[in-house]
Amino acid sequence: MSETTSHLKLPFLAAAQAQKHVTHNEALALVDLVVQLCVVSNSVSAPPADPAEGERYIVPAAATGAFAGQESKIAAFDGGIWRFLAPVEGWAAWVQSLGAMQVYSDGKWTGYSSVAGLGVDDVTGGAAFQQEKTVLSESAHGAQSQFVTADELITVSGGFTESSLVIPSRAIVFCVSTRVVEAVTGASSYDCGTAGETGKFGGSLGIAVGSNNAGVIGPTAYYADTPVRITANTGSFTGGKVRLSLHFFLPVVPQT
């Protein structure tokens, strides 16, 4: 017989065990740490200097200090020390810093959606980014009406930078939104658009950290895969990072 439960790894009491309350209390502590899981962040790479009792984090890649080597585990500050809990397939956590759910699947934490997200190749032909889709309706033969939100963190340079994340052919776009996550330098502002319409989703946008814009437009159909372009104003980009998000409707043709 196993010494722990299958999913939460809670310790079992052994027959004729002395000090049973120790094992029982350990199980209760673990339940308290992982049930209704809510973590502070999934991007804090070093343990905070003064964590509160019970604080939890999803450890990101390349973590340091006590978090080193604990990638994707739940780091929980419990009893004055860090405990690391290995998730299993299907664990879900509310990430406070994102204001969103994350699910552990295929060895990594990914965004939660009402259905499985699109594969990377479905939109970008191989570029890495995060995305979520919701199937609004589906026919008996596999035709779907999908709404998709996808984003990419872009490091800007030169006169303009194009996203590897593209608006897919036959998508109907409602918005392209942006947020500066690392101050943009070398330009007075930037425009967000496409090669043919550089300011379509916003012009003269702010370059300070936290500056953001929801570039809403009348629903616009695209008939070829189209990258989004970030264009420098009054100079060229010498640094900075902008998170770019696409918001679009995508029809899927019948599969049979």
| Full-model pTM | 0.55
CA dist 149 to 132, 176, 226, Å?
A: 5, 10, 16
Average per-residue pLDDT in the chain?
82
3-state helix, strand, coil in the chain (%, to 5): 10, 45, 45
How many C-beta atoms lie closer than 10 Å to residue 29's C-beta?
Answer: 15
Query: What's the CA gap between 75 and 33, in Å, rounded?
Result: 10
HSE of 33, CA atoms in CB hemisphere, 13 A: 28
* Predicted local confidence at residue 35, as pLDDT: 66
The answer on pLDDT for 103 being more than 90 is: no
Chain mean position to CA 24:
36
Residue type at 247? H
Tens of pLDDT, residues 184-203: 999 999 999 999 999 999 99
* Predicted local confidence at residue 51, as pLDDT: 93
The answer on pLDDT for 92 being more than 90 is: no
Token output for 186: 């070398």
Segment 48-53 mean pLDDT:
91
The answer on pLDDT for 123 being more than 80 is: no
Tens of pLDDT, residues 72-83: 999 989 889 998
Mind listing the domains of the chain with CATH numbers? 36-110 (no CATH), 116-252 (2.60.120)
* Predicted local confidence at residue 19, as pLDDT: 58
Tens of pLDDT, residues 144-181: 898 999 999 999 999 999 998 899 999 999 999 999 99
Residue 181 near residue 240, CB atoms below 8 Å: no
